[in-house]
Structure 1
Amino acid sequence: MQILTQHQIEQKIKRLAIQILEQNYKEKEIILAGINNNGMVFAKLLVDQLQQLTEITISLTQIRINPANPLADEITIGIEPAKLKNKVVIVVDDVANTGRTLFFATKPLFSTICKKIEMAVLVERHHKSYPVMVEYVGISLNTTLKEDINVQIGESGDWGVFLD
């Protein structure tokens, strides 16, 4: 069952970008860190929207993590941690399920003192097992544990959020 169409996703991205700017309007730079594949695509879409709305420097980097077993491999970020010092960093993913991926994705940020760490997702589910708070949410869904959320965004052209 389709939850969001491409047009609705685009609207969510615009709204999230505005919310990010409302909370960070005094900043000189905001760094978005997309998690793996879909999180990175979503982060890039947010960056594009933010750059249309503000003169603030918006930077993009990627966090690499094994979501199935976050401790099995090193969790890496595509920017030198020193460049994050005193900066606002927003960790971005497509879906927040239990919060595990978002929780462990912040690990590379612990080697420096960021000004603020926030989180943004397109879809938030209410099955948190980890202490994460997502500040910027496109849509919040109450689902059963057996239901899956499938997010399709990016180059393919057929965007959508589906409940399987």
Structure 2
Amino acid sequence: MVGVSNPTSTALAGVLRELAVTVVRDAPQHELSRTGAATLSRIRRGGPHRITALAELEAVSQPSMTGLVQRLEQLGYLTRSVDPADRRASLVAITPAGEQAVEARRHLHEQVIVDRLARLTPTHVEQLVAALPALTTLAETTEKPAHV
């Protein structure tokens, strides 16, 4: 059964959306787009993927993902290899440079949070720390399987 919206879920969704927008807006520009970073992060976590699977998981068209993979490959962030399960297909894997790019972007976003935390009272920081386990559980993803 799908949960029904309530004041808590509405407020939390609004705050999280605003925080995400703030982090992206206030962080210095990085050559990785949000989708590029998400794709690299997914490959980093889950290992090599087919382009069709990445497109489905990132909710973009296959031509869009193909273009993104080509750009990331040109930047040296991804490599392609033949899929041993189907030699007609290729697998996309992250390179050490791609790992570094993901970390650099993550660090830029983290610095925005550090700056924001510095503006809070110690009590508010303690409240956020106490809420971290619940927020972590909320944020944990159960990735839907991709059709390969």
Normalising by structure 2, what TM-score? 0.32
Greater share of residues in strand? 1
Query: Which has the higher Rg, Structure 1 or Structure 2?
Result: 2
Greater share of residues in helix? 2
